[in-house]
Amino acid sequence: MNKKAFTLVELMIATVLLGLLLTAAFTIFGGSNKGFKAGTWRMTTQKDAQRFLLRFKENVERATHLYSLDMNGERILESKIPITVASAYYNALASSTNTGILFGSRVTPICNQNLELGIKSDINGIWKGLSLECFDKTLSFVYTGDRNTLLSTTPPASIGPTNNTRVTYGNRDGDFITSIKDVDSIGVFVRKATDSVEIGRPEVLITLKLVMLMPDSNGKTTVSEQITARIHDRELDEVTKGSSYPSAKR
């Protein structure tokens, strides 16, 4: 009875073919795995960015000057408090660095005693600071009554506290910090709102644009998102260019 066996050459050919098949399989698996990771990162980052931008819009739209209320309940401008944007990011998309990007203030009006309006005693205004600050590719939006909470070591003096004895500082009620990671580029684009329907009430539009970059993707996997906030009672020159505001790790 004849017995057939594989020759050495046949075994070598079979081994090479098996190696090629395994290499192809691992290559396909590796590519699929990378694609899955990239897709998951894009989806997660896009949702995180949208939530971050909505929080930014809701709160930066509350940025105010300092007002008081007269006997009729009408607002009186006490002092202007600008929104300050670091010059590198003002109407430009720039790489994220360890720096403050945008600063503003929200101050509730000063109220004097007015029994007719139901105000039983004098009420001080309450100051809150708004800041957009980046450290180590993580962008944070900070809403706080304590300047020491800000990432920037030297935020612009214009955001407060002001030299007004009728304004309370240090109130931490409602303070929060929201952040997003992997931020590669940031831009703050400012323009006048020409479609305002209220005469004598100017408005400014501030568009925040973010570009996120997936780590270890060689710059190939990115997500871009933006949102526009409408700031009432604000002239264009009341959104000012600032200098540099280095930030430190909290």
Which pLDDT score, from 0 to 100, does residue 241 have? Answer: 94
Condensed to tens digits (0 to 9), the pLDDT of residues 129-145 reads: 999 999 999 999 999 99
Model-wide pTM > 0.95: no
Between 120 and 61, name the one with better pLDDT.
Answer: 61
Mean residue pLDDT across the chain = 85
Residue 6 has pLDDT above 80, yes or no: no
3 Cβ contact list (under 8 Å, min separation 6) = none
Question: Do residues 139 and 133 make contact, with C-beta atoms less than 8 angstroms apart?
Answer: yes
Select the highest-mean-pLDDT range: 8-17, 30-39, 236-245.
236-245
Sign of CA dihedral 223, 175, 105, 148: negative
Condensed to tens digits (0 to 9), the pLDDT of residues 186-198 reads: 999 999 988 765 5
Residue 10 has pLDDT above 70, yes or no: no
pLDDT-based confidence at residue 49 (cuts at 50, 70, 90): very high
pLDDT-based confidence at residue 95 (cuts at 50, 70, 90): very high
106 Cβ contact list (under 8 Å, min separation 6) = 59, 62, 63, 64, 127, 128, 129, 130
User: What is the average pLDDT across 6-25?
Assistant: 68
Residue 87 has pLDDT above 80, yes or no: yes
User: What is the average pLDDT across 194-205?
Assistant: 76
Which pLDDT score, from 0 to 100, does residue 112 have? Answer: 77
**Which two three-digit tokens encode residue 59?**
């709160």
Which pLDDT score, from 0 to 100, does residue 198 have? Answer: 59
User: What is the average pLDDT across 157-162?
Assistant: 72
**Least reliable range by pLDDT among 68-82, 106-120, 233-247:** 106-120
State the Cα–Cα distance between residues 214 and 40, nearest whole angstrom: 11
Residue 250 has pLDDT above 60, yes or no: no
Residue 32 has pLDDT above 90, yes or no: no
**Which two three-digit tokens encode residue 54?**
């909505």
Which pLDDT score, from 0 to 100, does residue 118 have? Answer: 72
Which pLDDT score, from 0 to 100, does residue 5 have? Answer: 58
Q: How far is CA 118 from the centre of its chain?
A: 39
